[in-house]
Chains A and B, each alone.
Chain A
Amino acid sequence: KAGVTQTPRYLIKTRGQQVTLSCSPISGHRSVSWYQQTPGQGLQFLFEYFSETQRNKGNFPGRFSGRQFSNSRSEMNVSTLELGDSALYLCASSLRGQPNTEAFFGQGTRLTVV
């Protein structure tokens, strides 16, 4: 069974641009969550999608958005990039997104904003 796949693995963007990151969950998993990891703030929850609906959102500005498609694949978009958006973005999938279930993480997308 293939794991969680995130593309691209590395990305360099310029301030002010926008970026779209993609996450393909494990087959059959319907919940996809996104996290941002930075040296200063650590791992922070961005949002969670289940069956194409956003169920939960972290404390991030509206420049950060996401969506989930009918095949459970998810994308997150960051508009008007800032230097502080440089981070490792991690996606996690779980079968039903219930609290007592294991989350499987992808390898992440390393975004550098210059």
Chain B
Amino acid sequence: SQQGEEDPQALSIQEGENATMNCSYKTSINNLQWYRQNSGRGLVHLILIRSNEREKHSGRLRVTLDTSKKSSSLLITASRAADTASYFCATVGETGFQKLVFGTGTRLLVSP
């Protein structure tokens, strides 16, 4: 079964608006990563935040991590139609290695 739950399951916004997605997980982690997937294709890595970090930025992306609440959020500012995709959070446990445990995903639709 999956580690995390993402909220909302689907999000529909207009271009220029901000999009916020939330992820909750169950066990202690080494890091948490966010990925984007376009229409059933491969996953694209967006950002990695380590367990000792609280916030990270990359371009229009802002990720926060609250390990006490076992939750993370992804904010996409000034959304574009090209941001339309599914977004997944994935955790790596403390034991390490490359084993990603994915959340359920949020489908984002950005309308022009």
A73 to chain B, nearest CB (A): 16
- Give the chain B neighbours of A100 by CB distance below 8 A: 30-31, 48, 50, 92
Contact A99 B43 (CB under 8 A): no
Interface size class of B (residues with CB under 8 A): 20 to 34
- What are the interface flags for B27-38 relative to A under an 8 Å C-beta threshold, 1 for contact and 0 otherwise? 000110101000
Contact A88 B45 (CB under 8 A): no
Contact A45 B100 (CB under 8 A): yes
**Number of interchain pairs (Cβ within 8 Å):** 78
Contact A45 B99 (CB under 8 A): yes
- Give the chain A neighbours of B43 by CB distance below 8 A: 90, 92, 105
- Interface set, chain A 10-54, CB cutoff 8 A to B: 31, 33, 35, 41-45, 48, 50
A94–B48 CA distance with the chains assembled, in angstroms: 14
Contact A88 B98 (CB under 8 A): no
Contact B97 A55 (CB under 8 A): yes
B42 close to A (CB within 8 Å): yes
Residues of B within 8 A of A (CB): 1-2, 30-31, 33, 35, 40-45, 48, 50, 88, 90, 92, 96-105
